[in-house]
Structure 1
Amino acid sequence: MFSSNSSKMFFFFILINSTLIAISSNSWFGCWIGLKINLLKFIPLISNSNNLLATEASLKYFLTQSIASINFLFSILLKMILLKNFEMIFFLSIMINSSMLMKMGSTPFHFWFPNIEKGLSWMNNLILMTWQKITPMIILSYYFNKNFILFIIIMNVIIGALGGLNQTSLRKLMAFSSINNLGWMLSAIMIAENLWLFYLLMYTFYNHNYIFFFFFIMNMFYINQLFMNNLTPLIKINLLINFLSLGGLPPFIGFFPKWIIINFLIMNQMYFLTFIMIMTSLIVLFFYIRIIYSIFMFNYLKIKWLKIFIKNNNFLMINIFSFFSFSGMIISTLFFM
């Protein structure tokens, strides 16, 4: 039943509704109920009886999310009991923040995230990296501990950058890239929720949609597949533009939201945090350039007769995405004039 398209569309519709329930609730229990519905409806989407890796990933996801939900429920119950005990506020805020960070796959609770990503399809990876972060992020903004979140931001950008250096799996590499982006999203939501929403829409949904869409239609999961398939020069250039945009390199559109966050951090005199985030972004760009280098420089002669064709509609979409990425500096300049 779960393999049919109609049932998956139904579960995805309930998944969206569960997010709306959680973020529109006016009580902690309402948020917890929305999170549980979200968990129970995402499991059928990622589970596949014909794929052992997907089944293992769904089980790991269920266990980690259940632990985070139990921790969150215990925290809100403890908060109600110790409402007048101000000495426990710091401890409770860290417990609630840790629960949401575990649900997002943030450091130091990130160990489950790359392993689960490796067992999922590209479309399920896209949902896990984007939509599944919305509810925990908004709940985190209700009751976050500033000093604790600043420490988590630094850990996210460092581990997300260093963890992707020795990866050959594209799904694991994108998982560590997502951990690095999570540090930027946490810094954005500390400044303003509107800035976090702008970052999510401009960076995560747009850039990840293109990259994941390309890997999905090409059925690619490892770096060596990028040079074993003889791609056309125009597709290679499109990949170059979009990978550099995903890394946040100017003049591409991926640099635009990072530029805004850097400006706000400098205005608030957070120079050390800004320095760490910029330097780790350079490391992320390094393993994106490594992928691009594999595409442009390597050639697998044994299967040179193999040609890769992409449908015209898909290719037109790729060109539109690339043009929008390349116009990022023009948009950024007009915004700050």
Structure 2
Amino acid sequence: MFLNPSKFLFLMTLISGTLVSISSNSWMGAWMGLEINLLSFVPLMTNSNNLMATEASLKYFLTQALASSTLLFSVILLSQNNFFAFFFPESDCIINLMINSSLLLKMGAAPFHFWFPGVMEGLNWLNSFLLMTWQKIAPFMLISYCWEKNMIFFIVIMSVMVGSFGGLNQTSLRKLMAYSSINHIGWMLAALIVGENLFFIYFTLYSILSLSIIFLFSSFKMFHLNQMFSLSNSSLIKFCLMISLLSLGGLPPFLGFLPKWIVIQSLVESNNVFLISIMVTMTLITLYFYLRITYSSFMMANSELKWNFNLNQNNLNYYMLILSIFSIAGLFLITLMFNIF
């Protein structure tokens, strides 16, 4: 997962493009930041030795270019809004819908998600982690400036449904994580409706839990579901993977349940019971394919391959235990919040 100097430079440009986008005080500046982010992420994705990575980078570039052109066209219309409002009184609503649609396409929310699993399938785990987490920051921040309530509610429902049902028939771990990310996009949009502070809490915990899972997948070069049964003879690693996945799915009392609990409570208080009922039901389906990944960990006796991986097993156990501490800490945090409230 180490980067050469050129890749590191592109990574720094990627970070700076996101910062330019979220700190800009005009839509044109935000668009420029998104373009810097796009043009620095494509070289990170490409790999001359892997045709799938090249294909994924091309898919990503074409999709993001379409979203960027739609956003730029919407910004131009917004600058001439006084002229269009004279002929079309509903122009404000139409322009907001176009801006929202372009940003949702950039982050991969359903029903604009069709490019996301295919692009994830061609990436390595480091780029997959960036696509699942960092690449969503700028679109989320920009969509918080002009979101349409009814449209966002529809996107939340679509995202949790597509993220749940889409992962049921997948055997690729990268596609499973992609559909899991789509499901979490729905929850993060719901958190964004409640408030930006809750969104930051949810996004931070989601990034930490995703990092712990992707670190293990990357360390063992695991890309498909059948490789889970030959993971390792280390019970600690299996336990850490099980805890991290169940926490990512939002199973109480792990830490991943904490932001979902706050979202549920906030939406119930605002009388959005129908929305939260769909979200909770669909999340139970995502827990099913998380349990399918950790199936071998739950088995009391299962066949294991005995070859040795070229890894420092002690250091790997140590890192995995540190990352999983965040999930296990949810037991104490949620208990403490129950006592306070």
Match of 2:160 among 142, 157, 160: 157
Matches within 5 A, 1:56-75: 56-75=55-74
Conservation of the 8 A alpha-carbon contact between 1:158 and 1:280? yes
Deviation at 1:218, TM superposition (A): 0.5
Partner of 1:24: 23
Partner of 1:98: 101
Partner of 1:80: 79
Partner of 1:228: 230
Query: What is the rounded CA distance, in whole Å, between the counterparts of 2:271 and 2:22 in structure 1?
Result: 31
Letter in 2 for 1:156: S
TM-score normalised per structure 2 = 0.94
Conservation of the 8 A alpha-carbon contact between 1:223 and 1:294? no
Letter in 1 for 2:11: F
Conservation of the 8 A alpha-carbon contact between 2:250 and 2:257? yes
Query: What is the rounded CA distance, in whole Å, between the counterparts of 1:270 and 1:317 in structure 2?
Result: 40
Letter in 1 for 2:152: I
Deviation at 1:312, TM superposition (A): 2.4
Conservation of the 8 A alpha-carbon contact between 2:233 and 2:306? no
Partner of 1:179: 182
Letter in 2 for 1:39: L
Conservation of the 8 A alpha-carbon contact between 2:250 and 2:260? yes
Query: What is the rounded CA distance, in whole Å, between the counterparts of 1:266 and 1:229 in structure 2?
Result: 41
* Stretches of structure 1 lacking an aligned partner (at least 5 in a row): none
Aligned pair count reads 332
Partner of 1:240: 242
Query: What is the rounded CA distance, in whole Å, between the counterparts of 1:326 and 1:300 in structure 2?
Result: 28
Matches within 5 A, 1:170-209: 170-202=173-205, 204-209=206-211
Match of 2:142 among 139, 143, 148: 139
Partner of 1:45: 44
Q: Which moved more, 1:242-251 or 1:306-315?
A: 306-315
Query: What is the rounded CA distance, in whole Å, between the counterparts of 1:229 and 1:17 in structure 2?
Result: 37
Letter in 2 for 1:305: K
The superposition leaves residues 177-224 of structure 1 with CA deviations (integer Å, 9 ceiling, x where unpaired) of 00000000001111111110111112x211000000000001000010
CA RMSD of aligned residues (A): 1.6
The superposition leaves residues 156-196 of structure 1 with CA deviations (integer Å, 9 ceiling, x where unpaired) of 00010000000000000000000000000001111111110
Conservation of the 8 A alpha-carbon contact between 2:70 and 2:98? yes
Conservation of the 8 A alpha-carbon contact between 1:149 and 1:186? yes
Conservation of the 8 A alpha-carbon contact between 2:220 and 2:231? no
What secondary structure sits across from 1:83 in the alignment?
helix
Partner of 1:305: 306
Deviation at 1:97, TM superposition (A): 0.3
Query: What is the rounded CA distance, in whole Å, between the counterparts of 2:218 and 2:232 in structure 1?
Result: 17
Query: What is the rounded CA distance, in whole Å, between the counterparts of 1:307 and 1:8 in structure 2?
Result: 31
Query: What is the rounded CA distance, in whole Å, between the counterparts of 1:246 and 1:181 in structure 2?
Result: 9
Query: What is the rounded CA distance, in whole Å, between the counterparts of 2:270 and 2:326 in structure 1?
Result: 31
Query: What is the rounded CA distance, in whole Å, between the counterparts of 1:323 and 1:13 in structure 2?
Result: 29
Deviation at 1:325, TM superposition (A): 1.1
Are positions 1:121 and 2:108 aligned together?
A: no
TM-score normalised per structure 1 = 0.95
Conservation of the 8 A alpha-carbon contact between 1:107 and 1:152? yes
Partner of 2:327: 325
Match of 1:255 among 242, 254, 257: 257
The superposition leaves residues 260-303 of structure 1 with CA deviations (integer Å, 9 ceiling, x where unpaired) of 111100110100011011111100000000111144448456xx
Letter in 1 for 2:257: F
The superposition leaves residues 306-330 of structure 1 with CA deviations (integer Å, 9 ceiling, x where unpaired) of 2345432331121122233122032
Identity of aligned residues (%): 51
Partner of 2:217: 215
* Stretches of structure 2 lacking an aligned partner (at least 5 in a row): none
Query: What is the rounded CA distance, in whole Å, between the counterparts of 2:75 and 2:247 in structure 1?
Result: 40
Query: What is the rounded CA distance, in whole Å, between the counterparts of 1:40 and 1:156 in structure 2?
Result: 27
Letter in 2 for 1:88: S
Runs of 4+ aligned residues of structure 1 deviating over 3 Å after TM superposition are 294-301, 307-311
What secondary structure sits across from 2:261 in the alignment?
helix
Conservation of the 8 A alpha-carbon contact between 1:245 and 1:325? yes
